[in-house]
Amino acid sequence: MRILNLAGRRLAASIPTLVLILIGVFLLLQFAPGDTVDAMMAQMGGGDAATARELRKFYGLDLSIPAQLGNYLWRLVRLDLGFSSIYGKPVASVILERLPPTILLMTASLSFAFFFGLVFGVIAARGVNRWPDTLISTLGLIFYATPSFWFGLMAIVVFSVYLQWLPPGGFEDIGAARTGIWRALDIASHLVLPTLTLGLIFLAIYLRIMRASMLEVLNLDYVRTARAKGLDETRVVTRHVLRNALLPMVTLIGLQAGTMLGGSVVVESVFSLPGLGRLAYESVVQRDLNTLLGIVFVSALLVITVNFIVDLIYARLDPRIMAEG
Amino acid sequence: MDAVKRYFRSPAAVAGLILLLIVIAMAVSAGWLYPRDPLALAGRPLVWPFSNPRFLLGTDNSGRDIAAQIFYGARISLLIGGVATAIAILIGILVGAFAGYYGGWVDNVLMRITEAFQTLPNFVLLLVLVAVFGSTLTTVTIAVGVVSWPAPARLTRAEFLSLRNREFVQAGRTLGMKNSQLIFGEILPNALPPVIVYASVVMAVAILLESALAFLRLSDPNVASWGNLIGLGRDVLRVQWYVSAIPGIAILVTVLAVSLVGQGLNDALNPRLKGR
């Protein structure tokens, strides 16, 4: 219960941040050339100035900017994100449709990066400055420097064009109309390459942090005690070191949540996944500013949610936080 | 001097420096080796690398020399990476210094803003900025800088927090020095080294951000940028994959060089932390 209380307080503290982001981006978008009505008029194939005036009045765009901002925030409270003139639907439903692929992709990439980062970090730390460490650290540096979109393209060339093992893009095979387990497997096969592509840079970061934090913890007194009482190395690592060494990794998930969401914009474009990131890209290209603002709101919300979950995990891993909080 | 010696004792740091020097040499010699406009038509489209001595790295979809674009691309990447990093570090130092030095409500307000920037995914913010201000070389560079400052700001703030009550600062205060003198003359020089080392991380990320933006065709289309070329090559990926592959390797090498140099500097300046 105290965990929830603590994390809940952190969550409440992020509400001003959210409001700040929305106000900032809203004001920023006022500088954008053209508004929703311009986009709609273009869609309709042009129209006279009177129609434009009418439409601006209908959407409340003739009001002063503070009044518009007030209106927008008030609508947000009621979870109304406005209307997307490009998609002809409320922004909220456009975003909701695009959310599942992104969440699936982020979860998969995070699990992949976290698991292998942990394993490789432990292997590297166990053989510090010997060849496994050198190999893993070098690979980590190279992965860190690899542009994700380029890795994705090369993966498509190798695995989809030459080997033809995996589909080159899309979320599922629409023509096949599969159901149940077959559909899940189909989606999974479509997500293998995007997951690797998005997760690669995070794998590099996690293994580096894991290695450093393992080295730090391995030098602590209580580890010496554990060794002195005759535990074998595997037990020392799994039972005593790992739990403490994991803390920086968990912190990192929260810090990197935003970066990962940003990365999915690029990865979803490479693999033409119909996700939130691709929607962000499309709304920039099509000047659908209402949708763009909605995406800003939802992605900030996602990052805050991830941080809330991280707080819960953190408190579970490290009871000292509870004692202090 | 010790730091320099320590730097050159690390093979990885030396390798990074050599790679970085090669990239810089490419950027400098571009105009001299390839006097013609790199975006002008040069020959038949889609010539494979090493098949025609006139185009060592082949030509792209519209018959432009890939090697020339790689050389000129080095200029763009270093320029955008360098200037954006300078902007990010400058904003970061100012925000972090004021927040850390004054504390109280100044700290509260500045850190709230920093948090807002960190909560919003930086690539999404970059898209918003490009949507609003357009995608010329200048706006893209400034935009990349503007989304990259929160981490250096936090770092500077942490340094200031640990330094602001040291004896030399108190001595300065007793001498009647002004706040601005204390911040920029006394504390900042001591807080700077870790921030400068961190600049390499900012630069690596800045180069990657710009190339991703260019790949999505949201960066300046009128300059020879590696990201642009990868985006172009995507249309012929199935057969002529080299159009995308070659500039990607250039980005990889540059980012790797910048990271290695940064890590080498870090190890040389903080010898106790070496091996971590």
For every residue of A170-181, DSSP letters joined together read -SS-TTT---HH
Cα separation, B71 vs B229, whole angstroms: 12
pLDDT band at B191 (very low <50, low <70, confident <90, very high): confident
- Complex confidence, ipTM: 0.88
Structure tokens at B134: 């357009």
Give the distance from residue B127's alpha carbon to the nearest chain A alpha carbon, in angstroms: 7
At residue B260 the predicted structure's pLDDT band, cuts being 50, 70 and 90, is very high
A287 at the B interface (CB within 8 A)?
yes
Nearest CA to B142 out of B223, B79, B74, B216 is that of: B79
Best B123, B267, B276 residue to mutate vs chain A (most A CBs within 10 Å): B123
A214 close to A125: Cβ distance less than 8 angstroms: yes
Token code pair at residue A50: 């009177």
Residues A263 and B271: their CA atoms lie apart, in Å, by 34
- pLDDT confidence bin for B203, thresholds 50/70/90: very high
Contact of A51 with chain B, judged by CB distance below 8 Å, is answered with no
| Chain A: closest CA distance from residue B151 (Å) | 11
3-state SS record for A98-110: HHHHHHHHHHHHH
CA B59 – CA B67 distance, rounded (Å): 8
DSSP assignment letter at B59: B
- The reported pLDDT for the residue numbered B16 is 92
Residue-level pLDDT at B236 = 82
State what percent of residues in chain B have pLDDT above 90: 41
Q: Residue window 160-179, chain A: list those with CB within 8 Å of chain B.
A: 161
Phi and psi at A141, nearest 5°, equal -60, -40
**If DSSP codes are grouped into helix, strand and coil, which group holds residue B139?**
helix
Beta bridge partners of A90: A83
pLDDT, tens digit, for every residue of B73-125?
999 999 999 999 999 999 999 999 999 999 889 999 999 999 889 888 889 99
Q: Looking at the partner chain, which of A17, A29, A304 has a beta carbon nearest the beta carbon of B132?
A: A29
CA distance, residue B185 to nearest chain A CA (Å): 33
Q: Letter for the amino acid at B276? A: R
Contacts of A280 in chain B (CB under 8 A): 124, 127
Q: Which chain B residues are Cβ-neighbours of A266 within 8 angstroms?
A: 123, 212, 215-216
The residues in B 84-143 lying below 8 A from A, measured between CB atoms, are 112-113, 115-116, 118-134
Tell me if A147 and B241 make a contact (CB, 8 A cut-off): no
CA distance A49 to chain B (A): 24
Q: Quick: pLDDT tens for B126-158.
A: 999 988 888 889 999 999 999 999 999 999 999
Question: Is B211's Cβ below 8 Å from some Cβ in A?
Answer: yes
pLDDT for A105-115, tens place per residue?
A: 999 999 999 99
Please tell me the number of Cα atoms within 13 Å of A8 on its side-chain side: 5
Contact between chains at A161 and B238 (C-beta distance less than 8 A): yes
User: What pLDDT score was predicted for residue B164?
Assistant: 86
Cβ pair A150:B255 closer than 8 A: no
Chain A touched by B261 (CB under 8 Å): no
Q: How far is A254 from chain B (nearest CA, A)?
A: 10
Whole-number pLDDT of residue B276: 43
Query: Smallest Cα–Cα separation from A115: which of A185, A193, A171, A196?
Result: A196
Select the residue from B128, B203, B240 to test the A interface by mutation, using most A Cβ atoms within 10 A: B128
- B130/A304 CB distance under 8 A: no
Residue A324 has a pLDDT of: 53
Q: Which residue type is seen at B115?
A: E
Whether residue A135 lies within 8 A of chain B, CB to CB, comes out as no
Q: What is the pLDDT of residue A323?
A: 59
In degrees and rounded to multiples of 5, residue A227 shows phi and psi of -65, -40
A33 backbone φψ class: left, alpha, beta (φ>0; ψ -120 to 50) = beta
Residue ranges of chain A whose pLDDT lies below 50 = 325
- The residue with tokens 């940064």 is B262
State pLDDT tens for residues A177-221.
777 788 888 888 888 899 999 999 999 999 988 988 888 888 888
Nearest CA in chain A to B249: A146
